[in-house]
Amino acid sequence: MVIVGAGPVGVTAALLLARRGVRTVVLERHHDLYPLPRAVATDDEVRRIFQAAGVQEEFAAIARPARGLRLLDARHRVMAEFPRAAQGPHGFPQTSMFDQPELERLLRDALARRPECELRGGVEVVGVEQDADGPVSVTYRDDEGEHLLRADAVLGCDGANSVTRDAIGAVWEDLRFEERWTVIDVRTSLPVRSWEGVDQVCDPSRPATFMRIGEDRYRWEFRLREASELDHERLRELIAPWVDLAHGADFDVVRQAQYTFRARIADRWHRGRVFLLGDAAHLTPPFVGQGLCSGLRDAYNVTWKLARVLRQGADERLLETYESERKPHARHVIRLAVAMGWAMTGGQDGVAAIRRRVLGAACRIPGLTTAAGRDLSPALAAGPLVRRRIRGGGRGLVGRFCPQPWVTVDGRRARLDDVLGDSFAVLTAAPLSPSLKAVAHGLGARVIPVTGLGNDGRLADWLREGRADAVLLRPDRVVADVVPAGSRDFTDTAGWASLLHTARSPFTTQRTVEKPLLRSTTR
């Protein structure tokens, strides 16, 4: 298959597919990675995606855990803190800071080690067409002329100005947020007043964001009236509240850029076997740090489904669940970012002042800031891959992620996902019924008793608190179905059996004869 765009989303998608045996060609217009920083933050759910892609250890070496978000008033007094834990439910720090060029380098190094992947840089994709007989044609140009690739599927990871989005006839839905900000990345050895988290200055005349990225790397974002590049003295004035400039040493501006933060979502995310991911599908303001995270969630959701269709002959309807699952979540994150942006920085009128006072009062409610900082992933809505007709217990687990503690198996300590493998899995605290065994066997799911895992009882507690005896986990670790406490079967055993044994089931495990996924010709 073909992936258009070799940014973090496109390369991560290629790595996830490679681990499931799917070959890819990644087309990128730049010869090398983009050298300047852009995205700087990720959460523990995305760290789990990097783990699935096989690059978690490398990412850990460049990541810096952050303590969370602080809201400051115009005089830089703390209004509220939204803490992020040193270890979240996915087994990693809930917020990590990083340098995007370092992330892209480690992703490309991992890509180069995979024989299933090929990166072609310095090319321009000029056409994507869905053929009537199924394959997708991708036309691109390089120094040698025009070329044609025919692939079983195409992932458009080609950003806000996506050629792929135009090719499937998708258009933007405007979610009504647009502001122009100046982003400044600085390297300095000067003393910097940082709490090792993100500062959001709720000043109507000069809203700002500040964060520490690395050992000597910092980022400021300002909403400014001036549209031209800032001179050195103006930069010194802006960063003075954080940096002790009296020591005489200077600072190095790594990058200064102006961005228009927008809130948009594509009206369609796929047509046939052509899919949109990341900024090609959605744009969000940066106020909750979820721009890149949302794109990587897209990759995790769609790649295991594509692999199931291409490698195991699953029904085409499985691919329809990508947009129905991811689009509502992306919209939720964008609306949250817009709401926070307007609450903290929106306008200078009387309504804005009242809004900020209400925000300050709300932040003093006990427990509110802790709850708000927990998790940005609401449960998936009911659908073919998420059962909701639940009688009895387990209702709070379905559609949500399984936690990932460290476990011990055969004397070896590992993260849970490394034990579960890349397919479906069943975690159980009770003996399996024959029908449950049949479901597990039909899906190729590993069955793992939680009592056999050395994890301090955390998984058993999670099942007990959710009033479930067992859960069925999808390859992306979302709970697809449960066995309520005291029951012996999944909540919809008949439905599962029907899906498993129907020729057009999205869960059929019948293998097809592998065919070449890519054919290339030069015009």
The whole-number pLDDT of residue 509 equals: 35
Least confident of 84-88, 154-158, 278-282, 490-494: 490-494
For residue 168, give the amino acid letter: I
Amino acid letter at 75?
A: R
pLDDT(172) > 70:
yes
Provide DSSP, 283-314: E--STTS-HHHHHHHHHHHHHHHHHHHHHH--
Indicate whether 347 pLDDT > 80: no
Cα dist. 129→94, 165, 306, 309, 519 in Å? 40, 11, 18, 20, 15
Confidence of residue 13 (pLDDT cuts 50, 70, 90): very high
Q: Residue 479 — pLDDT band, cuts 50, 70, 90?
A: very high
pTM for this entry: 0.90
What angle do helix axes 44-53 and 291-312 make, rounded to 10 degrees?
40
In terms of pLDDT, which residue wins out, 366 or 459?
459
Q: Which of 51-55, 207-211, 367-371, 394-398 has the lowest mean pLDDT?
A: 367-371
Q: Distance between CA 272 and CA 253 in Å, rounded? A: 45
For range 490-516, the mean pLDDT: 40
Q: What is the mean pLDDT of the chain?
A: 85
Residues 6+ apart with CB under 8 A from 28: 5, 6, 10, 119, 120, 121, 122, 123
pLDDT tens, 121-135?
999 999 999 877 678
Q: Work out the burial of residue 407: count CB atoms within 10 Å of its CB; fewer than 13 is exposed, 13-18 middle, 19 or more buried.
A: buried
The predicted pLDDT at position 327 comes to 97
Question: How many helices (H) does the chain have, and how many strands (E)?
Answer: 14, 27
Question: 33 by DSSP, 3-state: which?
Answer: coil
Whether residue 287 has pLDDT greater than 90 = no
pLDDT above 70 as % of the chain: 84
Q: Is 521 helix (H, G, I), strand (E, B) or coil?
A: strand
Residue 513 reports pLDDT greater than 50: no
**pLDDT digit string, tens, across residues 134-144:** 789 999 999 99
Please say if the pLDDT value at position 120 is more than 50.
yes
SS3 of 210-274: the string is EEECCCCEEEEEECCCCCCCCCHHHHHHHHCCCECHHHCCCEEEEEEEEEEEEEEEECCCEECCE
What are the two backbone dihedrals, phi and then psi, of residue 276, each rounded to the nearest 5 degrees?
A: -105, 140
- Look at residue 51 and tell me whether its pLDDT is greater than 80: yes
